[in-house]
Amino acid sequence: MQQAVIFVRVSKKEQDYQRQVEDLRAVAQSQAVQVVAEISEKISGAKRNQDREGIQQLLELSRQGAIQKVLVSEVSRLGRSTVEVLQIVEELTQLGVSIYVQNFGLETLKNGKRNPVAQFMFTLLAEFARLERETLRERILSGMDEARRQGIKIGRPVGATEEKAVFLKKYAAVARQLHAGLSVRNTAKLCDVAINTVRKVKTLL
């Protein structure tokens, strides 16, 4: 039986990825594969692969030979940067790990060999995801410009920025772990906070 990873991602902390997980569990059952890990991210898909903890965990399992398949609901869950997504696809392909995309029923490997149709579709879908993100960004910026023209103030209210001492007190546990010599990534895991929060604490220390 093949070992598989379920990989899900949402862009915002308030979004929920449970529906993705449940759908992919059903896919795993229908394909008779064993799910050995469920990796979830709450991070922008435009981030670089090296800055995404979930992607790094996925790649590490693949390099260890612990999995043969990755299940995702759609290509954009792997990322919204065409270059970064294709890097993931290429490395997993080289490692003999197939990626199954639920919404198109695509799989990058067939009987251990590259599926040229899937490879081509991945390139197109990754590019569509990138263009969609760029279009959304342009709309947001255009809306902000229009709001400014109408005299609407954009940004945080005056006084909303936390003072350094207040911020460090809030994340005292993070500061203690960093002082003890723990890495940023391990501190984020131990304290259950975002890695960017740990980096901010480290900068302020």
The model's pTM is 0.62
Q: Is residue 100 helix, strand or coil?
A: strand
At 159 the pLDDT is 47
Q: At residue 135, what is the residue type?
A: T
At 12 the pLDDT is 77
- The backbone torsions φ and ψ at residue 57, rounded to the nearest 5 degrees and listed phi first, read -65, -40
Digit-coded pLDDT (tens) for 143-188 = 777 777 777 766 555 444 557 778 888 888 888 888 888 888 888 8
- State what percent of residues in the chain have pLDDT above 90: 33
Average pLDDT over residues 60-64: 96
Average pLDDT over residues 106-132: 80
Least confident of 17-21, 29-33, 75-79, 146-150: 146-150
Give the number of other CB atoms < 10 A from CB of residue 182: 17
Are 123 and 82 spatial neighbours (Cβ–Cβ below 8 Å)?
A: yes
d(CA 203, CA 205): 6
Q: pLDDT band at 3, cuts 50/70/90?
A: very high
Digit-coded pLDDT (tens) for 187-205 = 888 888 888 888 888 888 8
CATH topology of domain 3-127: Rossmann fold (3.40.50)
Least confident of 58-67, 88-97, 106-115: 106-115
Instruction: Tally the C-alpha atoms within 13 A of residue 197's C-alpha that lie toward its C-beta.
Output: 19
At 156 the pLDDT is 55
Greatest mean pLDDT among 30-44, 79-93, 122-136, 160-174 lies in: 30-44
Of residues 72 and 47, more confidently modeled:
72
Least confident of 5-9, 84-88, 114-118, 160-164: 160-164
- The pLDDT of residue 114 is above 80: yes
Average pLDDT over residues 17-22: 91
At 129 the pLDDT is 66
Written as one string, the DSSP assignment of 120-151 is: HHHHHHHHHHHHHHHHHHHHHHHHHHHHHHTT
Residue ranges covered by each domain of the chain: 3-127, 164-204
- The pLDDT of residue 26 is above 90: yes
